[in-house]
Structure 1
Amino acid sequence: MARPRTIDRDHLLTAAEAVVTGQGAAALSFASVAAEAGLSKASVQSAFGSRAALIDALIGRWMQHEADRFEAALEGAESPEARLSAHLRCTYDELHNGRGQRVATLLAILASEGQSSASVRRWYQERMGDLSAQSPEEKRRRTAFLAAEGAYFLRCIVGLEADPAIWAEIFAALDRP
């Protein structure tokens, strides 16, 4: 008797990212992921159960990957300035390595479908706290954090094009005390 084949969720998530990146958010379905992964639609459905669960898994995978990158960028430092600098480096890298558009699209799907955004809010709170600031330095860090997020969304969601040197200049200026 043949052993049942195990479905590789990571492979399916990679296929789902390829669908979103190549065909747009509206094309994300069990059928499109199955076609991209070379599996049956039933296999994808059995792995995730619903489109919402698939989207949650995509966001969760990105958030874990981003948390790992952030920890590596921190290099053991925990000061507020080090946290901001690590966030800026990670955000800048995200803009220039091809993942930014994919993640922005996934976040847009999440928001447009009325999905719970609790995990995204939690991600931001872990990254930068509640955004309260008392000292001038805390206020500068808050402004730099929000400016980086604004630049990210303008580039990835709005599609604002600029010379890579301009993006580098913007992020370098945000990272200055």
Structure 2
Amino acid sequence: MARPRSIDPNQLLDAAERVVARHGVPGLTLEAVAAEAGISKASVLYDHGSKTALVQAVLVRALQRDRAQNQAAIDAVPAHDSPVIKGRLAAAAQPLPDAFRPVALSLVAAMAGDSSLRGPFQQHQREVIEAVETTSQQPRGAMLAYLALEGLKLLEALDYHRWPVQQREQLLRDIAWLVEQVPPD
């Protein structure tokens, strides 16, 4: 008879995120996560097998959250109106939560140092870029808008710059303007 789970998988990943927020990925140990979650190290090991697998699980969940937020916004845009880029712009109106910023920064650093962690994000970017190109009325303008949007978000995620709310809103409107533009050849 299988032993019942002692902790919900999301609670375990929540604990891992809290450890990463405080100590970064280098400070993420199976012991630290177990202590944070109030469970045994064996339980963490059973669920994830290694630190790398645990970091991968935290990364994949962050990607899933981002996908869900963007998809909800995309679904609200009419199919004939460049939905992928306009939906992603709408979703970006809510910046990265302050509580998640140190986690995002640590995860980006981990991906920079371990190419095996980048795979899901590389695949996701390929899918988004293809979707922006194939669902936009003006694919080149939409691609410029996507690049500008991702640049803004990356500067924020890496904690390089934070815009005042009104300036950030204006930047998003300016980026949205790019969507319908036809760049010169």
| TM-score normalised by length of structure 1 | 0.83
- What TM-score do the two structures reach when normalised by structure 2? 0.80
Q: CA deviation at 1:142?
A: 0.7
Letter of the 1:37 partner, please give it. Answer: A
Counterparts in 2 of 1:102 and 1:168: CA distance versus 1, 3 Å: farther
Task: Provide structure 2 residue ranges, at least 5 long, that are not aligned to the other structure.
Answer: 181-185
> 1:35 deviation in Å?
1.6
Report the secondary structure of 2:115's partner residue. coil
Which deviates further from its counterpart, 89-98 or 67-76? 89-98
Does the 8 Å CA contact 1:144/1:175 hold for their aligned counterparts? yes
Secondary structure of 1:95's counterpart equals coil
Alignment check: 8 A CA contact 2:101 2:159 kept: no
Deviations 1:20-60 (A, max 9, x none): 12332322111221121111222211110011111211122
CA–CA separation in structure 1 for the residues paired with 2:13 and 2:99: 16
Output the amino acid matched with 1:137. Answer: Q
Query: Which residues of 2 match residues 72-87 of structure 1 at below 5 A?
Result: 72-75=72-75, 77-79=78-80, 81-87=82-88
Q: Compare 86-95 and 50-59 and name the one that shifted more.
A: 86-95
Q: Which amino acid aligns with 1:127?
A: V
Aligned pairs for 1:85-164 within 5 A: 85-96=86-97, 98-129=99-130, 137-164=138-165
Equivalents in 1 of 2:173, 2:4: separation in Å? 49
- Are residue 173 (structure 1) and residue 174 (structure 2) matched? yes
The residue aligned with 2:183 is: none
- The aligned length equals 175
Residues 116-173 of structure 1, C-alpha deviations (whole Å, 9 max, x = no match): 422111111222218769x993221111111111111111214313312222211121
User: What is the root-mean-square deviation in Å for CA atoms of aligned residues?
Assistant: 2.8
Letter in 1 for 2:47: A
State percent identity of aligned pairs. 25
The answer to whether the 8 Å contact 2:133/2:142 transfers is no
Higher mean alpha-carbon deviation, 105-114 vs 143-152, is at: 105-114
Q: Distance in 1 between matches of 2:31 and 2:90?
A: 37
Give the partner amino acid of 2:89: L
